[in-house]
Structure 1
């Protein structure tokens, strides 16, 4: 974007990944850009606004597109749009499929970005490992998508919509994102913090031994987004990429809890191994959606940290706040 200062819009900026991304964008020397973000609720979180005075906040409804014209009017056409907004709780998607499709397929956002009439915008869209069926280990990007729940189905529909409509896009199939709490604490339970909390009480806790994921440390997720952003802003060469974004380790919930216990020095005897079928969660959950991240490391040169190191970094960050 020669001769023009880059503009980055983070959609869903008050969520977990959105806040971590905004904080990284605010660090001078990371990516020198003007930053705006959207939020769905009435007002943006005050701690976030106070911590990031340079970021501009806009209320927007992703389903209808209401509020996006206000972004265009005062911020301008973004060079990069990072879409972090979604209904990401599988049970909520199962309970209201229409809402899941309306929110998770970003039709109004894409139509708005196309309304500028040029291809100067890169859309970085957060998808999920739940697009895979979950019947084998280490899925590759070219493997068939056969989601077992509405959340995964809505994300597959979103991927299809984006690849058909957008000239420039990066679709990131993310695993469980974990890491330190955000500037303005999010309401949802964070996995490592929750495991640390329950294990610290010394009571026996059940953890699934037969569901596998490749959890990714939030700062690695942010680095992937920043790398794509820098590449686009520096040369503007066409980007059409689909990437698995997970950590290097295939772990069960049981193994995740054991890592927390190892870092904190808790007795592993209180960690009870149970099958996922022992609990009815009201929604189908894929057994093994671990992902092969070879394409990620080869394309961007980013090697996510191990799960144990991520747990250690997360708990160290929590201890220092």
Structure 2
């Protein structure tokens, strides 16, 4: 790839993570369930050097209500088959997975731990990881936790976690947060840095990549602790934060209790240490108010 800019294809380019990486882009319309539209990409773009797959139905309850749609989108069959049609596997596929592949019965899961998801979303993501690793030979699978950060230049429709917590606490509304459901929320710019590092590694190294990484922040936090951190950064009272057990609420989907992740492999392989949740909240709210 000496002497030319690498060709990078982002699938699911209207999502939050991609929208946070500001770069000029040529848009294509593709139906991921059928693969319709990939031929147009080939005709205009040729074979990409790197594919970043951000596309997913990522709301667990939506996956539970419509498991067929979840599997059709979250299992990238048409994407992988399209890559295989080039007759080589030199394109690096970076695929965003999830911490919900883990069962949630212990703390700080490692990549080699067994995956035993408790809901359809997690099962669809495990199926995707297995499909990619069995069918394709040049990939990086990123198991991300809750991704948070500032609103994008072109605002995304989804509710952003820190901004939502900030808005309810600013009103002084009493709101329930689970004290027994743990995650390792990760700042969106750290996720983008991980993807950029993998792209650089992929285009500078002729060897094929087979990599699985936990991509979370350094802090294991309950959802109540997440809210308390936002309150502390803003100087709000913690009194409106009502800590309740996750088992007391029926959300229409089973949610794993503790899917905190060990990120030592991420730090070792890429030399990236994600920022603390408190620092990430400060940056998120600072940028949101500027």
TM-score in same-fold range (> 0.5) = yes
Task: Measure the CA separation in 1 of the matches of 2:26 and 2:158.
Answer: 24
Within-5 A mapping of 1:48-67: 54-67=24-37
Within-5 A mapping of 1:3-152: 3-21=3-21, 23=22, 26=23, 54-152=24-122
Task: Measure the CA separation in 2 of the matches of 1:161 and 1:205.
Answer: 40
CA drift at 1:5: 2.6
Task: Measure the CA separation in 2 of the matches of 1:242 and 1:135.
Answer: 21
Task: Measure the CA separation in 1 of the matches of 2:96 and 2:274.
Answer: 17
From 263, 268, 276, the equivalent of 1:298 is 268
RMSD, aligned CA: 0.8
CA drift at 1:204: 1.5
Relative contact order, higher structure (CA 8 A, sep 6+): 2
Task: Measure the CA separation in 1 of the matches of 2:137 and 2:2.
Answer: 20
Q: Secondary structure at the match of 1:311?
A: helix
CA drift at 1:290: 0.2
Task: Measure the CA separation in 2 of the matches of 1:277 and 1:75.
Answer: 49
- Structure 2: gaps of 5 or more residues: none
How many residues in Structure 1 have an aligned counterpart in Structure 2?
290
Q: Residue 174 in 1 paired to residue 135 in 2? A: no
Contact 2:90/2:208, CA 8 A, preserved across alignment? no
Q: Secondary structure at the match of 2:153?
A: coil
Within-5 A mapping of 1:249-260: 249-260=219-230
Task: Measure the CA separation in 1 of the matches of 2:189 and 2:251.
Answer: 29
Q: Residue 271 in 1 paired to residue 261 in 2? A: no
Segments of 4+ in structure 1 off by > 3 A?
none
Q: Residue 2 in 1 paired to residue 8 in 2? A: no
- Structure 1: gaps of 5 or more residues: 27-53
